[in-house]
Amino acid sequence: MSTAAAERRADGTAARKPATMAQALNRAMRDAMAEDPTVHVLGEDVGTLGGVFRVTDGLTAEFGPERCTDTPLAEAGILGTALGMAMYGLRPVVEMQFDAFAYPAFEQLVSHVSRMRNRTRGAMPMPLTIRVPYGGGIGGVEHHSDSSEAYYLATPGLHVFTPATVADAYGMLREAINSDDPVVFMEPKRLYWSKDADWDVNRPPAVPPAGQAVVRRRGTSATLITYGPSVPVCLEAAEAAAEDGLDLEVVDLRSLVPFDDATICESVRRTGRAVVVHESTGFGGPGAEIAARITERCFHFLEAPVLRVAGFDIPYPPPMLERHHLPGVDRVLDAVDRLQWEAEWTEGSTR
């Protein structure tokens, strides 16, 4: 079949090209800026270059440098400026370019951004979105591949969103920009080029609100709980486990704050077993909090301890070693094997 023919539907109309997560994020900001003149985008190289990952491509050309603004290489200054903009009624959207680049701005985030609405007893909203490309898998060097979500998760006053699909990237970024609370929007950079042929840029489908987890794959044997870049890994692991007769459920958290205890507990109470998977470190990482919450709420339903598959407790390794550091399918399946299965569960298993 020719390329031209492949791009036509049966009814003769042109088929949509698959949309990427980067394109969905770009469209979310473009639509927000078109609808609300108080929405401003700022960060390093977001203007003329369109961002390192081209997520802000075309925004300066369409809305002008006053609303999509290149800033100096000074993260504390960027976030401090955005804080002032939000206090004066604007809705700034900050790009931190890379995960570990955000650390110099952490004092502004913890001391001021996260506390402002509480400090003023709700009188001063803080409609500030901080976009943080995070995670590994792209061969990035140190300071370019951290999974820093644990820091934000442990900071009261912040919401923490982390989409894993094209549809969620658009819908959740729109929700973040519209929020009167500060949102740290964690973008899994290795999923920027993931595609969705069904996502319609002209009519983006509605998605559940942040704080509502989604079951990406139904199962009965055990629950894999994950988010962001580890969602595709867990789905692949579930397909591999099916060959051994195990039916794994995969739950995508979608946001770490707010957290959906109800969906997680409903799943774990049915399956009796759970594995939490993420790229952040294991010690003190998000999985520790999630495992504790499951144990507190589902203890009498558990058939085995809640296990974690995480990045190692080390600074992010050099690119050639990151495949060993990142949770992969084999490590997830190894954890599933350690869920204290009774003999009848594993009878006939090849692993």
Q: Which residues of the chain have a pLDDT value below 50?
A: 1-7, 343-346, 348-351
Cβ(250)–Cβ(276) below 8 Å = no
Q: Cβ contacts of residue 15 below 8 Å, gap of 6+?
A: 6, 7, 8, 9
Cβ(93)–Cβ(131) below 8 Å = yes
Q: Does residue 300 have an active-site annotation? A: no
Query: Is residue 93 in some structural domain?
Result: yes
**Total domains in the fold of the chain:** 2
Claim to verify: residue 171 and residue 227 sit in the same structural domain: no
The SS3 assignment for 224 reads: strand
Which residue is catalytic, options 40, 112, 143, 144?
144
C-alpha span between 113 and 128 (Å, rounded): 8
- Count CB neighbours of 209 within 10 A: 12
Query: Is residue 202 in some structural domain?
Result: no
Q: How far out from the chain centre does Cα 212 lie? A: 13
Query: Is residue 345 in some structural domain?
Result: no
pLDDT, one tens digit per residue, over 50-106 is 999 999 999 999 999 999 999 999 999 999 999 999 999 999 999 999 999 999 999
CATH number for position 136:
3.40.50.970
C-alpha span between 342 and 329 (Å, rounded): 23
Claim to verify: residue 75 and residue 36 sit in the same structural domain: yes
Claim to verify: residue 35 and residue 179 sit in the same structural domain: yes
pLDDT value at position 2? 38
Claim to verify: residue 304 and residue 157 sit in the same structural domain: no
- Count CB neighbours of 306 within 10 A: 23
Q: Which of 162, 196, 230 is the last residue of a domain?
A: 196
Claim to verify: residue 126 and residue 187 sit in the same structural domain: yes
60-73 burial, b at 16+ Cβ within 10 Å, e below that, comes to: beebeeebbbebee
Specify the pTM: 0.92
pLDDT value at position 344? 45
Cβ(265)–Cβ(255) below 8 Å = no
Q: Tokens 């969906």 identify what position?
A: 263
- What is the number of helices (H) and of strands (E) in the chain? 14, 14
C-alpha span between 340 and 349 (Å, rounded): 14
CATH number for position 279:
3.40.50.920
Claim to verify: residue 126 and residue 240 sit in the same structural domain: no
Claim to verify: residue 192 and residue 45 sit in the same structural domain: yes
Q: Cβ contacts of residue 271 below 8 Å, gap of 6+?
A: 219, 220, 221, 222, 223, 249
Q: How far out from the chain centre does Cα 277 lie? A: 13
Amino acid at 325: H
Cβ(317)–Cβ(203) below 8 Å = no
Provide the domain limits for residue 184: 19-196
C-alpha span between 177 and 180 (Å, rounded): 8
Claim to verify: residue 175 and residue 54 sit in the same structural domain: yes
Claim to verify: residue 286 and residue 313 sit in the same structural domain: yes
φ, ψ for residue 225, nearest 5 deg: -110, 125
Query: Is residue 351 in some structural domain?
Result: no
Cβ(325)–Cβ(295) below 8 Å = no
